[in-house]
C-alpha cells in the first residue's frame, strides 16, 4: 500500500485520540500533514506528535480548505453542528472524506452531503465503526449464511452507563440537542446503523418513546449548589459529585475537558467548565432513556433500548431466527449461537480488540485506506449512501418520540426533504 496523506479537522477526543494515532502506529500507511483545531493546547500537541509543519497548523478549518488540495484525505471530527460546511468544502476540493458520526443534525444536510459526494466522485465514509468490528461482522456473516434461518426479530440494548451518561449527555458536549444532536442520533445512529447492517434489509417504519426523566432541576437535592465544588451538602451521598468522581475513579474522563491532568488542573477545570456543574442544574435537554421499534422489509422487526441508568457500558444483542438464536455482549467480546434442532450451543470468543469500540476505531482507518488503494476510494461499507438511511431512522425516531410514538414510514419521511 502506498502511504496516504491526511489533513485533520478537529483534534478533540475522536480526532486526536481515536483516529490520528493510526498514523503514528502505521506511518507506512498514513501521514497526517496538517491540522485545524481551535484549542491551542490540543493543536500544539498534535503538531508535535505528528511532526506537522507550523505552516500547516490552523485554528479553524476555513483557511486550511482555502488552500489547493495538498493531501489525499480529510478526516473531519468537529462537533456535530460543524460537520456540514467543512465536509462540503473538502469534497469539492477533491478530498476523500472520513467523517465522524453523525453526519449532521439536519436531515437536509445529510442528504446534501451524500449528493455532493456522488457529484464530485469522492468517497464520503461515515465513522460507523461498529461495522468494522469482529463482533458485528461475525453476527452479520452468520445471518447471511442462514445458520439461524430467517431472522424474525432483533433486540439490541445500549447500556450507556450511568457516569458516561452524566459526563457526555448531562454535563458534556452532547447534553443539549440545540447545540449538538438529539441523543438517539448522536449516540445511537451507531445502533440504527448496525441493526440495518446485520439484517441487510431496508427499514420501512419506526416508532419511539422516551424522555428526560431524572436529570432535571426538580430532582436536585435540597441545598445543592450550581457547582459541586461549592460546598454541596450531599457530596458523599451523590454518585455524580464532580470532585469526588473526576479526582477519583473517573480521573481518566478528565482528559476529555482539560489538558492539565494534575489534581490542581482538574479542580481548575471543574470550577470553569460545565463538567463541574450539578447534574440536576445543567442546561441539558436530551433524553436519558429511549426505545425504538422498527419494521424491516420482509416483516422482520427490531427493538432498540438506550438507557443511561446501567452499571456497565456495553451493547447486548439477541437475534432470533427461525432455526436458531444469536446472543452477544460487546463488553465480553463473545457471541453464542444456539441451534433449535440439535440444541447445540456454539460460543465464539473474539481476540482482544486493539483500540476503542471493539477495535472499530482502528479498523475503519485501515479499511478506508485499503478502499482507496483498491477502488480509488469509491467504495466503502459505511459510505454516506448506506449511512443516510440509518440517520433517517434516528431522525424519524426522534420525531415519533416527540409526537406520542406515532409510526413513521421512512420513505415518506425521506420524501419530505427532497
pLDDT digits 0-9 by tens, 246-289: 999 999 999 889 989 899 999 999 999 999 999 999 999 999 99
Domain identity same for 120 and 157 = no
Domain identity same for 117 and 141 = no
Q: Which of 108, 130, 152 is where one domain is finished?
A: 130
pLDDT value of residue 376: 61
First to last CA, the chain: 40
Domain identity same for 147 and 206 = yes
Domain identity same for 269 and 291 = no
Closest to 191 measured CA to CA, from 351, 303, 308, 356? 303
Task: Report the number of distinct structural domains present in the chain.
Answer: 3
Regions of the chain with pLDDT less than 70: 375-379
Domain identity same for 92 and 123 = yes
Q: Which of 130, 160, 186 is where one domain is finished?
A: 130
In a domain, 59, yes or no: yes
In a domain, 378, yes or no: no
In a domain, 281, yes or no: no
Sheet holding 57-58, edge to edge: 57-58, 30-36, 4-9, 73-76, 96-99, 124-126
Domain identity same for 71 and 126 = yes
Domain identity same for 113 and 138 = no
C-alpha cell at 18: 481515536
How far, in Å, CA of 313 to CA of 359, rounded?
16
Closest to 320 measured CA to CA, from 119, 147, 202? 147
Domain identity same for 149 and 202 = yes
In a domain, 374, yes or no: no
Q: How buried is 215 (Cβ within 10 angstroms: 0-12 exposed, 13-18 middle, 19+ buried)? A: buried
Q: Where in the sequence is the domain holding 106, given as residue range(s)?
A: 4-130
Domain identity same for 177 and 243 = no
Q: Which of 130, 155, 178 is where one domain is finished?
A: 130
CATH code: domain of residue 51:
3.40.50.720
pLDDT value of residue 375: 62
Domain identity same for 265 and 174 = no
How far, in Å, CA of 125 to CA of 368, rounded?
8
Domain identity same for 290 and 390 = yes
Amino acid at each position: 500500500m502506498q502511504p496516504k496523506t491526511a489533513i485533520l479537522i478537529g483534534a478533540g477526543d475522536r480526532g486526536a485520540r481515536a483516529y490520528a494515532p493510526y498514523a503514528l502506529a502505521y506511518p507506512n500507511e498514513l501521514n497526517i500533514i496538517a491540522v485545524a483545531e481551535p484549542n491551542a493546547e490540543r493543536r500544539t500537541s498534535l503538531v508535535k506528535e505528528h511532526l506537522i509543519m507550523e505552516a500547516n497548523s490552523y485554528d479553524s478549518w476555513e483557511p486550511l480548505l482555502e488552500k489547493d488540495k495538498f493531501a489525499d484525505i480529510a478526516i473531519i471530527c468537529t462537533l456535530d453542528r460543524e460537520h456540514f460546511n467543512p465536509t462540503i468544502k473538502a469534497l469539492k476540493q477533491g478530498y476523500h472524506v472520513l467523517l465522524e458520526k453523525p453526519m449532521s443534525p439536519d436531515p437536509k444536510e445529510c442528504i446534501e452531503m451524500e449528493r455532493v459526494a456522488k457529484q464530485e466522485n469522492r468517497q464520503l465514509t461515515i465513522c460507523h465503526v461498529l461495522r468494522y468490528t469482529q463482533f458485528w461482522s461475525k453476527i452479520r456473516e452468520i445471518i447471511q449464511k442462514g445458520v439461524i434461518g430467517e431472522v424474525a426479530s432483533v433486540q439490541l440494548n445500549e447500556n450507556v452507563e450511568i457516569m458516561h451518561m452524566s459526563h457526555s449527555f448531562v454535563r458534556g458536549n452532547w447534553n443539549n440537542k440545540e447545540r449538538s444532536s438529539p441523543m438517539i442520533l448522536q449516540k445511537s445512529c451507531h445502533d440504527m446503523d448496525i441493526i440495518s447492517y446485520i439484517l441487510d434489509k431496508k427499514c420501512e417504519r419506526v416508532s419511539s418513546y422516551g424522555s428526560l426523566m431524572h436529570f432535571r432541576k426538580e430532582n436536585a437535592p435540597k441545598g445543592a449548589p450550581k457547582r459541586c465544588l461549592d460546598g454541596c451538602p450531599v457530596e458523599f451521598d451523590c454518585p455524580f459529585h464532580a470532585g469526588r468522581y473526576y479526582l477519583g475513579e473517573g480521573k481518566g474522563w478528565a482528559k476529555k475537558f482539560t489538558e492539565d491532568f494534575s489534581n490542581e488542573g482538574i479542580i481548575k477545570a471543574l470550577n470553569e467548565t460545565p463538567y463541574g456543574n450539578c447534574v440536576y442544574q445543567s442546561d441539558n435537554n436530551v433524553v436519558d432513556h429511549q426505545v425504538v421499534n422498527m419494521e424491516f422489509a420482509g416483516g422482520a422487526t427490531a427493538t432498540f433500548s438506550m438507557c443511561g441508568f446501567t452499571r456497565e457500558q456495553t451493547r447486548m444483542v439477541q437475534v432470533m431466527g427461525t432455526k436458531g438464536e444469536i446472543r452477544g455482549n460487546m463488553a465480553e467480546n463473545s457471541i453464542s449461537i444456539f441451534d433449535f434442532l440439535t440444541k447445540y450451543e456454539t460460543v465464539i470468543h473474539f481476540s482482544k480488540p486493539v483500540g476503542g469500540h471493539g477495535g472499530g476505531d482502528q479498523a475503519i482507518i485501515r479499511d478506508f485506506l485499503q478502499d482507496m488503494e483498491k477502488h480509488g476510494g469509491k467504495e466503502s461499507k459505511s459510505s454516506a449512501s448506506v449511512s443516510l438511511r440509518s440517520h433517517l431512522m434516528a431522525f424519524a425516531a426522534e420525531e415519533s418520540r416527540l409526537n406520542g410514538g406515532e409510526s413513521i414510514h421512512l420513505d415518506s419521511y425521506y420524501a419530505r426533504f427532497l
